[in-house]
Amino acid sequence: MQGIDYDLTGEALTRLAELAGYPHAFALRPNTGMPTGLDMDGDGLLGGPRDAQGYGRFSGQGGMAILSRLPIDTANVQDLSALLWQDIPDALLPTVNGAPFPSAEAQAAQRLSTTGHWIVPIIGPAGRFDVLTFHASPPVFDGPEDRNGKRNHDEIMLWLHVLDETVGMAPQGAFVIAGDANLDPVDGSGIKSAITNLLASPMLQDVAPQGASGTDTADWDDPVPGNLRVDYVLPSTHWQVIDSGVLWPEPDDPLANTVAAASRHHLVWVDLSY
């Protein structure tokens, strides 16, 4: 789940899991709204939502969570969310006139993850598999330095660094990358090579789930940017894909339309077996 606020005791997530009938739930504190005490967006002011590690008007706004019918091995979760952007291989750090943007001090404190990057082990009936989840920054809402576009690129590329074992510990068996990359491989803004390289990984299957708008998963006002594919479920090659889809609301389905009104992003689902 993306865009769910985090609270320290997990009360909201616990209640939601109970309501939805999921016996297992997991969340960590996201970078969204986490104060830095620095000017992180270069506007000369402090304490704004863009001065946090990830955009947020309060700590934990718009975090992530996993709901599961299967047990979650919380003791062996890898949380990569504290990795500094400048420490990532081949980082595309923003500059203005050759100087770090917004400052060297800000870049020395800036985490890569807008929300988080987690590798979460799930205990399935045929053994353990891992869910690799994240929610990247949208590659817009910045200036010519392209800070958000470059950060979005590096957030997506982090998974390739994990898979080639240059960052963190790569999954040893079946896994699924699931999350909001905020990047369409063809349309809209952003550095397309990040998502095209991820989709082309020989370790992954691009199932390309289909819905009422083809593979698009999000609905922005037309004509710009319009419908985009920005949300992904990418199983490793260990899995057999049974079925998949993107749930777009039907005009005569009031429940689906109520759910759709909560977000411009639509549910991506994939049935897997191994």
CATH classification at residue 152: 3.60.10.10
What's the longest Cα–Cα distance across the chain?
A: 55
Nearest to 268 by CA among 236, 241, 233: 233
Bridge partner list, 63:
4
What is the structure's pLDDT at 260? 61
How far out from the chain centre does Cα 75 lie? 22
Determine what percent of the chain is predicted with pLDDT higher than 70: 97
Task: Encode pLDDT of 40-83 as tens digits.
Answer: 999 999 999 999 999 999 999 999 999 999 999 999 999 999 99
User: Could you tell me the pTM of the whole model?
Assistant: 0.95
Tokens of 63: 């975090």
Please state the domain count of the chain.
1
pLDDT of residue 7: 95
Domain containing 142 equals 2-273
**β strands within the chain, DSSP E:** 2-4, 24-26, 63-64, 66-68, 78-79, 95-96, 99-100, 117-124, 127-135, 175-180, 218-219, 227-228, 231-235, 240-247, 267-273
User: Which pLDDT score is estimated for 6?
Assistant: 97
